């Protein structure tokens, strides 16, 4: 198999570490360099000790643009535009950005949600990877939105692990704050709502319902749990059939007829869904790993699609489960 010459920019954080874990063992990938301004000169394993014995790569603060087939950008939100203005990659280089900067599909970027945009992603050279909450919410609701079932405000709650806040410490990511605790933030105003609405209007031009989203900080490290519900006049069997048909060609999104739990999805690139009909509402549960299907795993899934590789390549991961 021909190796795809690949670089990671901003590889010192959680998503960068997960990209490294996946790409080091990806059979079609050759990591040419990994970039970090803050960790330059250090061995990757000094920053990501889970990779001891897996790699001898060293972080560099130099940016090589020529001879690179694909580059993953893991820079802080708001910094990618400036980086690409300063460092111009050849037009044939595939750019996969994990920040919020291009999720509005500006500057020639394609929104990288494979379950909705697979055909566009296959021919894209610039891909904007979705946000973690956005991924879980969109996959929980996309079949219903496409079918026109969401006629009223949609109620959504979501709880995320502490890794969703990034590696830099803050008051709400300290162990003493998170442990035995739960809190709400960005009530009805989360930044991911913008990209969610964009996708829903793409699959249903008439969509204009409010998304009433309550995000919670959870007292665990990895994973996102979504509960969404809306009035639904149909039968549960109809909804399950609709969801299964919608995701028939999606190798990582599965509709379970049994109750699900978060650990089934953690350490995988899966989105697990479960549907219930209660008191006139369709209730949808969704579980993903925020660092994989919500970030680095989905980025590698997009990498596979745009290079014509098998979609699951390098992503056959088992959940921790217990």
Q: Which residues are catalytic?
A: 132
The encoded tokens of residue 52 equal 């001891």
SS3 for the chain is CCCEEEEEECCCCHHHHHHHHHHHCCCCEEEEEEECCCCCCCEHHHHCHHHCCCCCCEEECCCCCCCCCEEEECCCCCCHHHHHHHCCCCCCCEEEECCCCCCCCHHHCEECCHHHHHHHHHCCCEEECCCHHHHHHHHHHHHHHHCCCCCCCEEEEEEECHHHHCCCCCCCCCHHHHCCCCEECCCCCCCCHHHHHHHHHHHCCCCCCCEEEEEEECCCCCCEEEEEEEECCCCHHHHHHHHHHHCCCCCCEEECCCCCCHHHCCCCCCEEEEEEEECCEEEEEEEECCCCCCCHHHHHHHHHHHCCCCCCCCCCCCCCCC
Smallest Cα–Cα separation from 7: which of 105, 86, 85, 95?
Answer: 95
Q: Using CA atoms, how far apart are residues 291 and 252, in angstroms rounded to an integer?
A: 15
The encoded tokens of residue 80 equal 């990618």
**Cβ atoms of residues 12 and 39 within 8 Å:** yes
**Cβ atoms of residues 271 and 133 within 8 Å:** no
Residue recorded with tokens 């063992």: 25
């Amino acid at each position: 198999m021909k190796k795809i010459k690949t670089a990671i920019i901003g590889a010192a954080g959680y998503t960068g570490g997960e990209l490294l874990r996946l790409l080091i063992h990806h059979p079609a990938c050759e990591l040419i360099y990994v970039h970090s301004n803050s960790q330059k000169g250090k061995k990757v394993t000094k920053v990501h000790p889970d990779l001891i014995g897996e790699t001898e790569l060293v972080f560099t603060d130099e940016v090589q643009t020529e001879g690179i087939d694909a580059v993953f950008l893991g820079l802080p939100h708001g910094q990618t535009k400036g980086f690409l203005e300063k460092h111009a990659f050849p037009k044939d280089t595939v750019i996969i950005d994990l920040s919020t900067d291009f999720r509005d599909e500006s500057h020639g970027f394609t929104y990288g949600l494979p379950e909705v945009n697979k055909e566009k992603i296959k021919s894209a050279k610039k891909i904007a990877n979705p946000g973690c909450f956005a991924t879980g919410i969109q996959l929980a609701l996309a079949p219903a939105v496409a079918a026109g079932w969401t006629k009223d405000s949609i109620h959504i709650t979501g709880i995320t692990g502490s890794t969703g806040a990034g590696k830099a410490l803050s008051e709400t990511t300290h162990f003493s704050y998170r442990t035995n605790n739960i809190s709400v933030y960005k009530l009805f105003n989360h930044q991911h709502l913008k990209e969610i609405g964009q996708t829903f209007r793409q699959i249903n031009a008439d969509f204009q319902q409010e998304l009433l989203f309550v995000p919670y900080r959870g007292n665990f490290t990895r994973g996102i749990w979504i509960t969404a519900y809306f009035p639904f006049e149909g039968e549960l069997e109809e909804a399950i059939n609709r969801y299964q048909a919608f995701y028939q060609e999606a190798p990582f999104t599965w509709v379970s007829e049994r109750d699900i739990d978060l650990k089934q999805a953690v350490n995988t690139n899966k989105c697990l869904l479960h549907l219930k009909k209660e008191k006139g509402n369709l209730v949808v549960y969704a579980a993903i790993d925020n660092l994989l299907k919500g970030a680095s795993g989905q980025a590698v899934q997009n990498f596979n699609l745009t290079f014509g590789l098998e979609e699951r390549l390098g992503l056959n991961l088992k959940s921790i489960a217990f």
